[in-house]
Amino acid sequence: DSISTTYYPGGILHTIINFVNQKKEGKAYEFNNIGELITERNYFDDTLSGAQKYFYENGKLKAEEKYSAGKIDGKSTLFYKSGQIRKEQNFSQGVKQGLTTWYFNDGSVAGFCSFNNDKLKGEFVVYHNNGIIKKDAEYSNGKLLSLKEYDANGKEITSEK
């Protein structure tokens, strides 16, 4: 059992990785070239497992994902530098599954869609900053069935079937 530590030229810490039986095990950390934490990963038996965290230079969380057996599995959340949620997406063993929602800087919903086995399914909606629908589409098995687009006042500007 050992801990591997690497450094940038000049002696600034780059990575800390725990090894058990010559395999990555537990937490691993990566730092940028000025010593700020940029990733915190978890390993089980040399494979990504559990919570994975990525950070902005200001120390705030940039993204958080969960892994199982080396594949993203569960909710993935991306954040703005302010800390506000930017996007939430669900995965099942590396495949997009279920609702995906993204947000404006102020926290209001910017759009949403759903996936079934990595393919768009159902309604796909995008909003203007003022909350009015910008794009309203319908998908089935990844194929576009219909699309309507609206200006910032809600007036329909295009329609496709």
Q: Name the E strands within the chain.
A: 2-7, 13-20, 23-31, 37-44, 47-48, 50-55, 61-68, 71-72, 74-79, 85-92, 95-103, 109-116, 119-120, 122-127, 133-140, 143-150, 156-160
Task: In whole angstroms, give the CA distance from residue 159 to residue 146.
Answer: 8
* DSSP per residue, 44-73: ETTEE-EEEEEE-TTS-EEEEEEEETTEE-
Q: What is the pLDDT of residues 9-37, one digit of tens each?
A: 999 999 999 999 999 999 999 999 999 99
pLDDT value of position 159: 87
* Mean pLDDT (the chain, rounded): 96
* φ/ψ of residue 136, rounded to 5: -135, 110
Task: In whole angstroms, give the CA distance from residue 18 to residue 3.
Answer: 4
Q: Write out residues in the chain with pLDDT < 50, as ranges.
A: none
